[in-house]
Amino acid sequence: MPLLQSKFTFDNRFVNNLPADQEAEKFTRQVYNAAYSFVMPTKVAAPKIIAIDEALANELGFEDNDLSDPLFSDVVAGNAILDGMAPYAMNYGGHQFGNWAGQLGDGRAINLGELVTPEGEHRILQLKGAGITPYSRSGDGLAVLRSSVREFLCSQAMEHLGIATTKALSLSLTGEDVMRDIMYNGNAALEPGAVVCRVSSSFTRFGHFQLPAFRQDTELLKALADHTIAADFPHLLEKRESSQDEAIEKETYLRWFEEVCQRTCKMVIGWQRVGFVHGVMNTDNMSIVGETIDYGPYGWIDDFDVNFTPNTTDRQHKRYRFGTQGEIAQWNLFQLANAIYPLVEEAQPLEALLNQFADDYQLGWREMMAQKLGLESYQEAEDLTLFESLEAILSLVETDMSIFYRKLAQLDLSHDLSDSSTWLPTLHSAYYEQDELSDTYLSQMSAWLVKWKNRVSKENRTDELRVSQMNRVNPKYVLRNYLSQQAIDAAQQGDYSEIHRLQKLLRHPYDEQPEFEDYAKKRPDWARNKVGCSMLSCSS
């Protein structure tokens, strides 16, 4: 038996603790009274790994020589499974763009198994693009290289930015082409197929609880909640006075929901800090453990715009725009609260926790903004006006969000900032159109900078401490859409070097990395209206 086949332990708790679909055939259908369906990945013609996260592989227990084993390549593309794996697709529902969509489920994602790492932690290996499942609806269960590169790289980017995320172990070509209509405009074409091996402690979503609640299947709802608490929030059970064998009490469900709210709050504030727009915050795309999940039509803020959404499907209503991600998170949590109500049977404590989320988010956003501006702490009396007035000014002309905050740290506060000639040479690279910088604008920005300088000076900290703080929270490098697209264009021609270069760059987004200076520049004009750079769809 190959060493790779026998060296790992799998403890498939989701499968062992929850009811399975009794239908063995792989055809699309409504699945009742079951949390998942056993399903094998569809084998592909010629699997080839083109990118891998070696550090993550080592954390999971793979040694360097394992990664060159042909069996490893087969496993992460779906052509083989290791002993102990029990592949399955998960059953869940959700709200999509505010409307109940019924059963959704893993239409092209298949969990291979729950690996026990050398540190004793559980990590699920999941293949995205692994073929038809009972939840594929009218889809083919496959994924293309274009979307898979974006998933792989953004998982890497978010991790190193310090924002909770599912991770990507590997990116593989399948050796097969897949038909896709990239902009849903009737221009379908063949694209290279690919599979991403994702990793997380849990791929459970808000929608897992919504579907049995909608179907009034309280038994399955309770089983899912109990399993989730035991597997992903075990510290909540340690606080109970009663035996582990006894039924989970209402108070434990409430503490669980409270923690889900807290994790979600922290995650979304992290998005706002770095200018990330998820693009499709449906309830089936919300992780119960507070991780960023499902990197589809996401985007990064280039010129600051609270109304920006990269998703063409959402262009008209802009439901999931940058400035409303906190509100949408609360709306999604409200749907989760509705779903778990049968376990609590009391509305008031759930409503109180939802209201607490709103308070926590507002305070968390303000504290985050204080950090971005180099303030040691948030002061209620004056800082909110400072923050809101800055965002208003940034919206007046096209101002690159990442560059502005990074360059702001470089301003010499010994200068008279009321004179634009003292600050414009430092900040000019953040502006997309220099001719937009009217005298009126320069006067407004100067006035704001003076207020900011005065606020900073009240804390009597050294410039060195302030700059260090700002550079720890304001990344120099983010995964701008055009950078991803350049890597995709090269990869589609068989050149994967740009993927590897971005991997290296994104490991240290807060560092100067002068060798990568060109990657910190603002979006070039050619990318302003290019598909994949400014316009993205759910086609993947």
Please, which residues bridge with residue 113 across strands? 125
Question: For 177, phi and psi rounded to 5 degrees?
Answer: -100, 150
Q: What is the DSSP letter of 110?
A: E
Question: H-helix or E-strand containing 32?
Answer: none
CA distance 337 to 283: 12
Q: Which of 53, 66, 284, 314 is catalytic?
A: 284
CA atoms within 13 A on the CB side of 350: 19
As a whole number of angstroms, the distance between CA 487 and CA 533 comes to 12
Residue 362 is classified by DSSP as H
Q: Are 68 and 2 in contact (CB under 8 A)?
A: no
Phi first, then psi: give them for residue 114, nearest 5 degrees: -110, 105
Active site residue 284: yes
- Cβ–Cβ under 8 Å, residues 221 and 343: yes
CB-based burial label for 162 (10 Å; 0-12, 13-18, 19+): middle
Q: Annotate 483-526 with DSSP letters as a single string.
A: HHHHHHHHHTTT--HHHHHHHHHHT-TTS--GGGGGGGSPPPGG
How big is the chain by its Cα radius of gyration, in Å? 24
b vs e for 101-138, b when ≥16 Cβ sit within 10 Å of the residue's Cβ? eebbbbbbbbbbbbbbeeeeebbbbbbbbbbbbbbbee
Rounded Cα–Cα distance for residues 402 and 300 (Å): 9
Q: Which two tokens stand for residue 83?
A: 């002993």
CB atoms within 10 A of CB 227: 19
- Look up residue 529 and give its DSSP letter: T
Active-site residue list? 284
